[in-house]
Structure 1
């Protein structure tokens, strides 16, 4: 695919089934998919190819990654890419490099003694604000891979999780201690379909559904 910036392990894990269970749960015809922490657009493209009629919103805070994601996704008319971070409330934050690679940039606070580089100031938006700005009534899939920023997102999830059918989240306890407890509190009453290391799949209960 012309323009894609291949990053070996990340691309291979997408292609080798990292999201296969999520793709099954998202079907058959999701209307709105949000990819927060979109990196260079690989997962957005994966969903776009499986669900060409879905509206896909890809959010990426890094300017460099955003530019690559925008190029990679340009040939998919159902993907919109935005240079913004998902957080608990609207504002700005410092994007930091934790020395873990270009897919590991974070707006989360850095623990004392941890080495990092400050990259740039980025805009931040909450899920509810995103839904309001883009006239979204419900989210069929929210993929949340924001390197510790999920703490604030999930801590502000009392209303929007009620209209989020599938939550795909990577919990970075090593970056934000306590985030697992925040996730479990936020998703109480939902169905945990899959938990594999950092990745968790949480589904809004639907009567008669077989998970």
Structure 2
């Protein structure tokens, strides 16, 4: 009851709601097992409201800053046989894609132990989901990983700020190893600046299966290397930008426009683009 009252207050605060929750979290255990219901499909899981990646799901049911990316993933996931979610975090995008592709096999890669209880709830609800608690790179082995207080900004060592970061050693695999026997139709990559490294370890899978690839590239040099990877494949991919309005545009410049997001799509030849190159909304939202 008290936890619900606190969340009601937090929702009513235009700013500072998360700070209020974090302040009261030590004395209100219910804030550590609070429900969040996703707008996309009604899936509910429980988590710690002090965690920066869980709180907005409890408040809004989605991440407001990436709603159009959700639409792209939902469109691309429909009818997929196998999906790879690289950088699964607490399982939001996995749950989103599982909702629109209930018959798909979804392999979600996430090395952080902090995220595993959330991912376990997703896998328990969606039978096609398999969690692989490893990082993904260009070759198998181990990697140094930076865990940050903003969990979604955690990444391989060597990127991002060292402030408030804890270094972990995590096992690393490649998509070519993990997906060798899979008919892969969609790969989503969000690994905070190492997207091109993941692609390097997925070369054979991409050539064999020609999946749609949705990847983040916040920094221009990451985008440049990722574009070079697809050009080097010579496999008929079209590289597309995504606008905040859901329009897909040919990637003719590495510079991101004011109305464009930092996610991109590699679209294989032979796969139909949406009507008018505009992605439809996948769920209702303001």
Whether TM-score is above 0.5 comes out as yes
Q: Secondary structure at the match of 2:85?
A: strand
Mapped contact 1:168–1:199 kept (Cα < 8 A): yes
Are residue 8 (structure 1) and residue 56 (structure 2) matched? yes
Comparing 188-197 with 67-76, which one deviates more in the overlay?
188-197
Structure 2: gaps spanning 5 or more residues: 1-42, 48-53, 243-259, 275-286
How many Å separate the matches in 2 of 1:14 and 1:130?
31
Structure number with greater CO (CA < 8 Å, separation at least 6) is 1
Query: Which residue of structure 2 aligns with residue 96 of structure 1?
Result: 146
Structure number with higher helix proportion? 2
Query: Which residue of structure 2 aligns with residue 19 of structure 1?
Result: 70
Which TM-score applies when normalising by structure 1? 0.83
Query: Which residue of structure 2 aligns with residue 127 of structure 1?
Result: 175
Q: Higher Cα Rg: structure 1 or 2? A: 2
Mapping 1:53-64, distance limit 5 Å: 53-64=103-114
Task: Give the CA RMSD over aligned residues.
Answer: 2.5
Comparing 84-93 with 16-25, which one deviates more in the overlay?
16-25
Mapped contact 2:148–2:165 kept (Cα < 8 A): yes
Mapping 1:131-142, distance limit 5 Å: 131-132=179-180, 135-136=181-182, 138-142=183-187
How many Å separate the matches in 1 of 2:126 and 2:156?
28
Mapped contact 1:38–1:60 kept (Cα < 8 A): yes
Query: Which residue of structure 1 aligns with residue 221 of structure 2?
Result: 178
Structure 1: gaps spanning 5 or more residues: none
Query: Which residue of structure 2 aligns with residue 40 of structure 1?
Result: 90
Query: Which residue of structure 1 aligns with residue 199 of structure 2?
Result: 154
Mapped contact 2:45–2:121 kept (Cα < 8 A): yes
Q: 1:143 aligns with which of 163, 188, 195?
A: 188
Are residue 205 (structure 1) and residue 250 (structure 2) matched? no
CA deviation vs aligned residue, 1:47-103 (integer Å, no higher than 9, x gap) = 11111001111111111112221123311111111211111110111110355x011
Mapped contact 1:108–1:148 kept (Cα < 8 A): no
Count of residue correspondences? 201
How many Å separate the matches in 1 of 2:173 and 2:153?
19
Q: Secondary structure at the match of 1:95?
A: strand
Q: 2:215 aligns with which of 166, 169, 176?
A: 169
CA drift of 1:194 comes to 3.2
Mapped contact 1:194–1:202 kept (Cα < 8 A): no
